Amino acid sequence: MKTKPTYQELEKKIKVLQQKLALKEGEKKFKELFEKSGDAILILENEKFIDCNIATVAMLKYDSKEQFLDVHPSKLSPEIQADGRNSIEKADEMMNIALKNGTHRFEWDHVKSNGEIFPVEVLLTVISSEPEKRIIHTVWHDITVRKKAEQELKESEEKFKAIVETASDWIWEIDKTGKYTYSSPKVLSILGYSEKEIIGKTPFDFMPAGEKERVSKVFDEIIKQNKPIDKVENTNIHKNGKLVVLETSGMPFFDSNNKLLGYRGIDREITEYKKSEQLLKESEERFKAISNSANDGIVLMDNYGKVTFWNYAAEKIFDYKKEEITGKNLHSLLTSEKYRDAQNSGFEIFKKTGKGNAIGKTLELEALRKNGESFPVELSLSAIKIKEKWNAIGLIKDITNRKKGEQSVKESEIRLRESNKTKDKFFSILAHDLISPFNTMLGFSKLLVANFEKYDLQKQKKFLGIINYDLQNTYKLLENLLLWSRAQRGVVEFNPQKENLYLLTIETLSLLKQSAENKLITLINNVSEDVNITVDKNMLLTIMRNLISNAIKFTPKNGRVEIGCRVSPIKTDGRLSQQEGNNLLPLQSIQIYVKDSGIGILKEKQTQLFEISENISTKGTDGESGTGLGLILCKEFVEKHGGKIWVESDIGKGSEFIFTLPE
């Protein structure tokens, strides 16, 4: 039977329970703090992470904490820290310091899952330093913003110091009594005194007596009203006794109660400037007089790309008055868009070095007038340094008339070359293609005349047939030659009218029917009866006659020649339609083709067929001769209609000559 606990035992048990409840409550509060903290909180056990809060996962940009638990801190760090030390070695050292001192605060670089390195302030607090169970409570506070601000502040201070110490002007500060409290090193070169010698003195201590009186009155009036000091000229005595002219500017500064504390400002030495001012003015007047009498435009562009000088000739060339363009960006107003990127990148180099691809050269470019008109100019560029900055000076000549003359000469040369080619072709035809059949006809006619009675009727017919065949070919040649000659002289009438393509095809095929039958060639008309086109009838008949005649010529016996047409859309200026009234109609062309089952044409010869300079006439399958003039004539007549002509052919598979005519 159990005995009842004594009062003391009950009291002891109650205290144990209270302690457990307090511990549990403490753990609950710690857990809430652990999870709700904005800083990353991690637990290290024996130099490896065993737990962390949600903020840690978010800070490192991982999906879950399991991805980086059970790892050494160096695994979540770059290999080398900002101070150049190895992360593994330094991490061990930081944890050892914490274990020794109980806590340790330091800055550290960690790495996010995306590879981004970021700085944190780390606080290590030792929970257990037992050799077998070393537990450290770790807090990371992201100091990216702070470090950036510190760096910006540091850079700002360095920039300010660099500016102050390297400035060509003397920078100073005086208190409300007028005594110097700060002086930049530049004072040594301006007045010959060191910074230490200046501190505690007033500006008037370095002025001649009369100047001191004059300037003190000016300064007193300014200070009474707390006004800025604006370019007050004053004469000072250099340590070596010479007079130095300074230009003083400054701004007042105040305490939190808006009471004047003093002035901060600069002194610029203008001694030499004052001497050279007049000389410069005279020089500028001479330069303006010379440049304004020049026939070429003279333009000066400063280090910022802005126009600073613009002579009278430039006004006439570009139509901008000097007042309109001075101070404006030269490239954006005067240069073509296609040069803009190259000019901008090149100008960045020029600003720093005074060098560039165009410097020291004469170039031909396109420029823009005030109305946006593009025109050619000749530009000569040079670099000139003004106030330690590179400027560009350009001599600009409007070469519009010269380019027109050059273009006219080029066109004349092209016409002359074409004329020479035409002449050469013409003489070639006269010398060979026209003379040759006459020699044949003369030879056979002479034999026929001399031996007419001796020859039987069959032989007489044979000789007459040969003469007749050559006469027909010579007639066709003369017909093409005359047409071609007239076309070259521009006297062929072009009279397009609405015609039925089917009927014109029938007319052409009837003329060539006998030639086809002689070689047992089948002529096929695939043109629909309802196809109407607007063409010059004579020119189209000439084109079809030449193409079909050639097809018969180069097709073996028992072959076939087919003529047909297709309607296809054409593209004009990127459009596939045209407006007619309120309706949008498709732009179409007629494709007419002459297809044969002949011997085909070599690929390398196909592009030469329509060139006047190429002599590629070949014999037909029955030894028929030709000049190649027919295809040249076809090309000219097709192009007269605004169409194109080409050939598609494979050796042994025949050829297809295709030309287009607007519907």
CA–CA separation, 575 and 578 (whole Å): 8
CB atoms within 10 A of CB 353: 11
Residue 589 Rama label (left phi>0; alpha psi -120 to 50; beta): beta
Specify the amino acid at residue 480: N
Output the six-digit token pair for 495. Answer: 């009279």
pLDDT at 318 over 50: yes
Give φ, ψ of 222 to 5 degrees: -65, -45
Q: Looking at residue 585, what is its pLDDT? A: 38
Confidence band, pLDDT 50/70/90 cuts, at residue 215: very high
Q: Tell me the whole-structure pTM to 2 decimals.
A: 0.36
Confidence band, pLDDT 50/70/90 cuts, at residue 431: very low
Q: Looking at residue 169, what is its pLDDT? A: 92
Percent of the chain residues topping a pLDDT of 70: 83
pLDDT at 148 over 70: yes
Of the candidate ranges 127-131, 275-279, 536-540, the one whose mean pLDDT is the lowest? 275-279
Q: Is 33 helix (H, G, I), strand (E, B) or coil?
A: helix
Higher pLDDT, 140 or 576: 140
User: Which residues sit opposite 254 in a β-bridge?
Assistant: 260
Confidence band, pLDDT 50/70/90 cuts, at residue 581: very low
The tokens 């026929």 sit on which residue? 448
53-58 long-range contacts, Cβ below 8 Å, gap at least 24?
56/140
Higher pLDDT, 444 or 394: 394
Alpha-helical (H) ranges within 37-80 are: 54-60
Higher pLDDT, 423 or 229: 229
The tokens 């302030």 sit on which residue? 121
HEC assignment per residue over 199-246:
CCCCHHHHCCHHHHHHHHHHHHHHHHCCCCEEEEEEEEECCCCCEEEE
Q: Give the residue among 74, 68, 80, 122 at the shortest CA–CA distance from 98.
A: 122
List for the chain the helix, strand, coil content (%; round to 5).
45, 30, 25
pLDDT at 27 over 70: no
Higher pLDDT, 431 or 45: 45
pLDDT, mean of residues 166-185: 92
pLDDT at 612 over 70: no
Mean pLDDT of the chain: 83
Distance set, CA 116 to CA 59, 73, 108, 112 (Å): 11, 16, 14, 5
User: Which residues sit opposite 171 in a β-bridge?
Assistant: 266
Are residues 48 and 72 in contact, defined by beta-carbon separation less than 8 angstroms?
yes
pLDDT, mean of residues 291-320: 88
pLDDT at 563 over 90: yes
Q: Looking at residue 420, what is its pLDDT? A: 64
CA–CA separation, 420 and 437 (whole Å): 25
CA–CA separation, 265 and 250 (whole Å): 4
pLDDT at 436 over 90: no
Are residues 352 and 360 in contact, defined by beta-carbon separation less than 8 angstroms?
no
Q: Give the residue among 437, 419, 534, 417 at the shortest CA–CA distance from 478.
A: 437
Q: Looking at residue 569, what is its pLDDT? A: 62
Q: Looking at residue 578, what is its pLDDT? A: 42
Q: Looking at residue 526, what is its pLDDT? A: 93
Q: Looking at residue 78, what is its pLDDT? A: 95
The tokens 């409290």 sit on which residue? 181
Distance set, CA 140 to CA 53, 382, 457 (Å): 11, 60, 123
pLDDT at 140 over 90: yes
Q: Looking at residue 277, what is its pLDDT? A: 78
Q: Which of 112-116, 428-432, 474-478 has the highest mean pLDDT?
A: 112-116
CA–CA separation, 415 and 490 (whole Å): 13
Q: Looking at residue 634, what is its pLDDT? A: 86
Are residues 593 and 657 in contact, defined by beta-carbon separation less than 8 angstroms?
yes
Provide the sign of the torsion angle of the four alpha carbons 435, 436, 442, 445, taken in this order: negative
Are residues 306 and 329 in contact, defined by beta-carbon separation less than 8 angstroms?
yes
Burial of 91 (0-12, 13-18, 19+ CB in 10 A): buried
Specify the amino acid at residue 246: L
Are residues 629 and 480 in contact, defined by beta-carbon separation less than 8 angstroms?
yes
Confidence band, pLDDT 50/70/90 cuts, at residue 11: low
pLDDT in tens, 97-109: 999 999 999 999 9
Confidence band, pLDDT 50/70/90 cuts, at residue 583: very low
Q: Looking at residue 432, what is its pLDDT? A: 44
